[in-house]
Amino acid sequence: MLGVAIAAAMLLDMVMLATGMRESFRRLLVSRGFELRLAPKGTLPFDTDATIPGVAAITSIMRSNPDIREISPVLGASIHIPVGNRDVSGSVLGVDPSVQGDYELLSGRDPLSADAIVVNDYLLQQLGARVGDTLSVATGYDPQTRTYSGRRTLVITGRVRFIYGANEQSSAAMRRETLEAMRGGDMRDRASLFMVRVREGADAERVRDWIETQIPNVTAISIATAIAQVDARLSYFRQLAVILGAVSLFVGFLLVTTLVTVSVNERAGEIAVMRAIGVSKAHVVQQIVLEGVAISFAGAVLGLGLGLVTARYLNTILSAFPGLPMAIDFFLFQPKAAWSALALLIVSGIGAGVYPAWRAASLPIAESLRREAIA
Amino acid sequence: MTQSIVSLRDVRRDYALGAERVHALQGVTLDVERGDYVAIVGPSGCGKSTLLNLIGVIDHPTSGTVEIAGKRVDAMTDREATSFRLHNIGFVFQRFYLMPILSALENVALPMAEAKVQRQERQERAAKLLAYVGLANRERHRPSELSGGEQQRVAIARALANGPSLLLADEPTGELDARTGAEIISLFQRLNGDGTTILVVTHDEDLASAARRKIHMRDGRVVDGA
């Protein structure tokens, strides 16, 4: 039974792995309500340091489309903050705080003024700072000469959690205009990414096509295309999950078949007597198949608990991969996944019981009784 | 005028044992009348159990005809034979073979459930049968909670569940001590007295002596009492 439970746990984990990352990524994308993302032509958001020039012009073009509700240009950069004689570095997003979809405010307020910055807990910890403290923040640092460029004094106005932030990543956000000014002339009117909300009921794919036609230097990515791209990148995980899931199912099938066969062999006399007293072959098969299903079901229930514990443990390990958003889960429990695993196990339980059951019910009654008497 | 409930004509049963053929029955002709109580005796391997299996329609003869309760049963399909056994034949075995997870009452009701008797009716009939075999107070007990003699009495009640024309017993006292065996012999006599036709295969002299008629077999043939 423990073996069946382990196979069931493994199967559940693999079903969770096969669908979990995709679903977790989809939830992450839809969580802030931006249906489209615009990256520099041929890139994915924040895949490279490339930026899109002409933020004002692009914004103006997009505003002409009534299906576009909100536009949030985002500029990404690195920041350096001197603390004593060491340099604390991190990433910063220049955003419009009124329409941004990159962070969630935990305490304090948004960086509404030009000298405001909001930071995540990890950066606060690295700096040994708190909300209300003043920081000297630079966008450039030369480690040879230990000199900073694009320096400005900013006040921490809030504690935030970055939606797409990775584990142990120092991150901050400020007004895009502030970041542009800090980075200097060549970064004016540029964005690393646009996040776009479409009107309710509008077809996001149509808006995406329209944007790519109107603004040729951007790649517009809808949630569907982003998921498709993630799917392509995660195909290795899915294949691995499918193979291991199939192996688990097969092992479970073999274990149930073995258990049912052993049980049937031990009860050959009992089965022969049932047939002798007039129990039909179909009913004998039904009883034995039910046993297989019961074993599978009990194994599945035990395996559910075991699978959830192991999935949680493995998820903690895998989620600590550098560069992955903390909100991404490798193993995501979805009732549908659990039902799928249970259904597969029940079907395999039926399959596992049918052969030994049919064999047992088809044995010659008199011969079975004679063997039993000799035994 | 009496009527044959069992009628065998020149019945042969051969088995393949490796390259050899074993002639378990070699031309048995036999009649058993309704209401009779017959004991089939003889040395081990003489064909007693093979004969009982043919009469019980759990085996087919190699040749010859077998008629039970006026029906030819020697060429029945598996489905026909199963249905015939369910309604016409009660089996009692040496090792009782009760379903371990079922109570005494449920074991007795099992053939009735197979015969699609309504739940209420089968509960009542099973309870009456258990009372008949002296186990009215053991209805809810599982086989593991019953003595060997009690288990055999439950098995006898189960064999009577669908009111069979014929009760067949293969060494029914074989696993019991002398005192419990005597109780089963007495129960068989009572059953026969109440009109049940009984055919019993046994080595037990006491059981054989209790029967009205004794059939002796040797080397696959009936040598006396046919």
CB atoms within 10 A of CB B205: 10
A172 and A70, same structural domain? yes
A171 and A46, same structural domain? yes
CB atoms within 10 A of CB A151: 16
- Express each pLDDT in A189-221 by its tens digit: 888 889 998 988 888 889 999 998 998 888 888
B88 — contact with chain A (CB < 8 Å)?
Answer: no
A325 and A281, same structural domain? yes
A198 and A341, same structural domain? no
B97 — contact with chain A (CB < 8 Å)?
Answer: yes
A331 and A238, same structural domain? yes
Least confident of A329-338, B166-175, B177-186, B208-217: A329-338
A160 and A262, same structural domain? no
Share of chain B above pLDDT 90, in %: 65
CB atoms within 10 A of CB A122: 17
- Express each pLDDT in A160-177 by its tens digit: 988 877 777 889 999 998
- Structural domain contains residue A336: yes
Share of chain B above pLDDT 70, in %: 98
Contact A231, A19 (CB under 8 A): no
Q: Across the interface, which of B49, B59, B85 has its CB nearest the CB of A278? A: B85
Which positions in chain A touch B77 (Cβ < 8 Å)? none
Place A46 in a pLDDT band, splitting at 50, 70 and 90. low
A54: left (phi over 0), alpha (psi -120 to 50) or beta: left
CB pairs under 8 A between A and B: 62
- Structural domain contains residue A31: no
Work out the average pLDDT over A107-117. Answer: 92
Domain boundary residue among A216, A246, A278?
A: A216
Share of chain A above pLDDT 90, in %: 18
Confirm whether pTM is higher than 0.80: no
Place B1 in a pLDDT band, splitting at 50, 70 and 90. very low
Work out the average pLDDT over B167-195. Answer: 89
Domain limits for position A356: 2-26+234-374
- What per-residue confidence (pLDDT) applies to B225? 67
CA of A258 vs chain B CAs: smallest distance (Å): 21
Residue of B nearest to A273 (CA): B97
Residue B194 to residue B191: CA distance in whole angstroms: 5
- Please say if the pLDDT value at position B101 is more than 60: yes
A367 and A291, same structural domain? yes
Domain boundary residue among A170, A186, A216?
A: A216
Share of chain A above pLDDT 70, in %: 97
A208 and A248, same structural domain? no
A355 and A277, same structural domain? yes
- Please say if the pLDDT value at position A375 is more than 70: no
- Please say if the pLDDT value at position A326 is more than 80: no
Q: Dihedral sign, CA of A232, A233, A239, A242? A: negative
Structural domains of chain B sorted by starting position, each given as residue range(s) with its CATH number in brackets: 4-224 (3.40.50.300)
A175 and A72, same structural domain? yes
Domain boundary residue among A163, A184, A216?
A: A216
A251 and A140, same structural domain? no
Q: How many domains does chain A have?
A: 2
- Structural domain contains residue A37: no
How do beta strands A171-175 and A86-95 pair?
parallel
- Structural domain contains residue A366: yes
- What per-residue confidence (pLDDT) applies to A239? 85
- What per-residue confidence (pLDDT) applies to B122? 93
Non-local CB neighbours of A170 within 8 Å, separated by 6+ positions: A88, A89, A90, A91, A119, A120, A122, A123, A126
A167 and A53, same structural domain? yes
Q: ipTM of this predicted complex?
A: 0.89
Place B62 in a pLDDT band, splitting at 50, 70 and 90. very high
Nearest to A61 by CA among A218, A256, A202: A218
- Structural domain contains residue A335: yes
- Mean pLDDT score of chain A, rounded to an integer? 85
